Structure 1
């Protein structure tokens, strides 16, 4: 019988746009501790055979919808709790970090690197550290140095989140059982792309990520991971990365080099996963398309203010363009706008009876870019409690239902629409603050366009005022030879 191992679990999970005026505070996070934390992981309840004979030590896990930079006080409190838990835990063999990898904290350029450095200051160099991450995270040299194993999602949209976390845990257990610290290899790829250009539904990301299984199956390789990086933070660590870990140094190095070169070679092939254009052009197309039943419901992504990437979720630009269309104002076209966060507006109207005329300014309180708060005059259509958005209302203006929420949320599941009385398959047009369509919406859509709208996660990266990236970097720079040096440990 192998000896019992002791492994601590914790982390802080958020991606943060430094271009968004939203400040992510403690109230934005769902925090789990103790038995509730270990219950999150399927392999612990009931124990999977590989996880048996291990004492899993819960620390704290804080997770939030993507947003702006994290308030330093909130980060400091959770970091201190993690460090205190490690100090009180006694002897540990390993630490499993459940993180995103693109957290920005006010005043810091490398939050996850800072966190793993602090963890090492408590546990020392001997325990193994394994990190499970989002492929839109960043792998800084500091994070790479502090972790023994790193892995990330292999799908976008992310349908392998829990599989990735289990892989990170199992790789950690296997390495500890072998008693051999893994060899690591890192290639930074000077590419910065929005996720909407890198969906694994289409090439070249589909083929690039599709090669992982083949490379990972080679002798001497434990894991291979590819990070697209996070495009909406202005930090030196933001760029693509490939990390390979293995029992054989040469095999890990070759795996990282090979996939890093393939990533770089494909840089010009990455394109948006749907046709794109300015909001008005997208509306022009949609309002013609909805005459064809096969193309309904027609979706338009209000991508620049996508809360799933860190947008404020209250930019009113796309809504203003919808309301300017006579077909929508007169009810000829049935449409939905999902959504704006505005707890003040919700509080003003939610206690009234459905069918009551209402007039209330909405949006523009967090991110006031043009046109700012928008006067909305219509009829209160529905009120509902949503597990993500809190108290929500639908205000009907002509043929348009405008969803307003008390908390930032992303309308990515059909049940969220149904709570406000909308069956998506019965409407003509849905404008949703999202980037690529998440699986339920993708399956429901008759057709789809991605509008290049303004906001804190603007898809047109050349419109963003970067000042701290490591340059040159594609596509902001094009005429350069990439440094694809493999860093090893």
Structure 2
């Protein structure tokens, strides 16, 4: 027997990159906490289940998988990914359970030569209001200073210095609605590969702006964000930067990081690259300050535009800002439904999260009349409806849309119609309106409606703009209302426009 074992050189040289993340957009103005069940009923993926869910999809993880898998000398090691639908503050017990589990799973695959992370950037717990900074810091402590940590961010992240300090390179999506998540994941993975082979050593800097961009103005395809992003791309090219990332920020979080920011990154930390970062950061900051008033929203009430909407091309996409599920809202507000009913306006579609009514409908047959109490617990809206059908609310989205999701599950759904002729889809799982398949998969044709109420602000535009010639952002009441200055902040930074006056 030979005393040695022959191993191929290619096997010795292969590097391993871990993939992991905790993803949540936390609305601190919601009383109901986000729990472990919310994550387990959302996305709780371990090891190969991550690849099974996202390979070939439109998510940033999909982009990471594709790029790393194509590398001849790097292996991707999926570890753990947990995501819950946006909601209230994550309980400390929930966060600690997730973090402990993730770190234990990482221990099982160590050592690795790199780590790709997928945080959202706006997670909050009572003890750790900068949740993402906390778990990224713990990850850095575990891996040490020499292992590159590279990741993506949702542009609604409220970025802290701790997040940037704990990582080598963070890149946010460039679009809202988020339709470039796959490309963003590809970019993060490409930077990882170049870092591992020694071609670059990323350096990044955070610039927190004295500005919180109104949720209404965060559409990157429209003024003022369109010009802001175009200028960032121009500077990125001019200074040959790795990234000139804009973080729009998430205004419904009472944390000191709340607000808009920039992460500017270069290929190394040479004096010239450092100067380029500073120049680009200050130029973008000045651009934001010069255009401050443009970043404040219009806060349009439905009364003021109803006559215009009635005459506008149909269907109208009526965006219910105050009950934005993608911003953590419960998705059960009947404000616009009641408004249209009282005005005798028919041909309205609305989706409501209301498990109690779905359960009630299970006792009836198609065509039966059912009396249900919709709305919030302390403000019910009784309505008489005809049951159209009850079914499993599972569907798929095959094209890139906000969130990059492919598989959707609304739980059991009931579709009912009011006596006036308005259609209500009732769900047992809170589901953001990110896909038109939410209607078409169940035989509902958007063209048959005069108004489609979507509980969002910008995200539903990617799903519905192809069939809705008219789009209206409506300032409605709720925990995601348009005017952020009405929320009782205690911890946000100051000065911050539009709360305080800021000058260039």
Q: TM-score, normalised by structure 2?
A: 0.86
Partner of 1:389: 410
- On the 8 A contact 2:68/2:76 being kept in 1, the answer is no
Do the aligned partners of residues 402 and 473 (structure 1) sit closer, same or farther apart at CA in structure 2, a change above 3 Å counting? same
**Local SS of the residue matching 2:102:** helix
Counterpart pick for 2:354 among 310, 333, 342: 342
Partner of 1:30: 43
Partner of 1:450: 473
Partner of 1:265: 290
- On the 8 A contact 1:383/1:420 being kept in 2, the answer is no
Partner of 1:237: 257
Deviations 1:345-396 (A, max 9, x none): 101113421110001112314xx5xxx2221212112223223311111221
Structure 1 regions of 5+ residues with no counterpart? 483-489
**Local SS of the residue matching 1:107:** coil
- On the 8 A contact 1:67/1:310 being kept in 2, the answer is yes
**Local SS of the residue matching 1:217:** helix
Partner of 1:476: 499
Partner of 1:485: none
CA-CA distance at 1:467 after TM superposition: 1.4
- On the 8 A contact 1:276/1:282 being kept in 2, the answer is no
Counterpart pick for 1:210 among 222, 226, 230: 230
Quote the Cα distance in structure 2 between the aligned partners of 1:211 and 1:8. 34
CA-CA distance at 1:282 after TM superposition: 4.2
Partner of 2:115: 95
**Local SS of the residue matching 2:255:** coil
Deviations 1:21-48 (A, max 9, x none): 3432233321111112134244566666
375-384 vs 127-136, which deviates more?
Answer: 375-384
- On the 8 A contact 2:63/2:182 being kept in 1, the answer is no
Quote the Cα distance in structure 2 between the aligned partners of 1:120 and 1:38. 24
Quote the Cα distance in structure 1 between the aligned partners of 2:391 and 2:72. 43
**Local SS of the residue matching 2:326:** coil
Structure 2 regions of 5+ residues with no counterpart? 1-9, 55-60, 395-408
**Residue 10 of structure 2 is aligned to residue 10 of structure 1:** no
- On the 8 A contact 2:289/2:503 being kept in 1, the answer is no
Partner of 1:355: 367
**Residue 445 of structure 2 is aligned to residue 432 of structure 1:** no
Quote the Cα distance in structure 1 between the aligned partners of 2:235 and 2:27. 33
Aligned pairs (5 A) from 1:418-429: 418-429=440-451
Quote the Cα distance in structure 1 between the aligned partners of 2:99 and 2:232. 33
Quote the Cα distance in structure 1 between the aligned partners of 2:369 and 2:210. 54
10-19 vs 180-189, which deviates more?
Answer: 180-189
CA-CA distance at 1:217 after TM superposition: 3.1
Counterpart pick for 2:426 among 396, 404, 409: 404
Counterpart pick for 1:64 among 61, 67, 84: 84
- On the 8 A contact 1:384/1:419 being kept in 2, the answer is no
Do the aligned partners of residues 44 and 279 (structure 1) sit closer, same or farther apart at CA in structure 2, a change above 3 Å counting? closer
Partner of 1:487: none
Do the aligned partners of residues 259 and 5 (structure 1) sit closer, same or farther apart at CA in structure 2, a change above 3 Å counting? farther
Deviations 1:178-218 (A, max 9, x none): 26532222211011123321211112211221233333334
Partner of 1:377: 384
**Residue 332 of structure 2 is aligned to residue 314 of structure 1:** yes
CA-CA distance at 1:463 after TM superposition: 1.5
Do the aligned partners of residues 30 and 88 (structure 1) sit closer, same or farther apart at CA in structure 2, a change above 3 Å counting? same
Q: TM-score, normalised by structure 1?
A: 0.89
Quote the Cα distance in structure 1 between the aligned partners of 2:494 and 2:437. 44
CA-CA distance at 1:141 after TM superposition: 1.0
**Residue 485 of structure 2 is aligned to residue 462 of structure 1:** yes
Quote the Cα distance in structure 2 between the aligned partners of 1:42 and 1:143. 23
**Local SS of the residue matching 1:109:** coil
Quote the Cα distance in structure 2 between the aligned partners of 1:311 and 1:138. 18
**Local SS of the residue matching 1:99:** coil
Do the aligned partners of residues 237 and 43 (structure 1) sit closer, same or farther apart at CA in structure 2, a change above 3 Å counting? closer
Quote the Cα distance in structure 2 between the aligned partners of 1:86 and 1:264. 43
Quote the Cα distance in structure 1 between the aligned partners of 2:497 and 2:439. 38
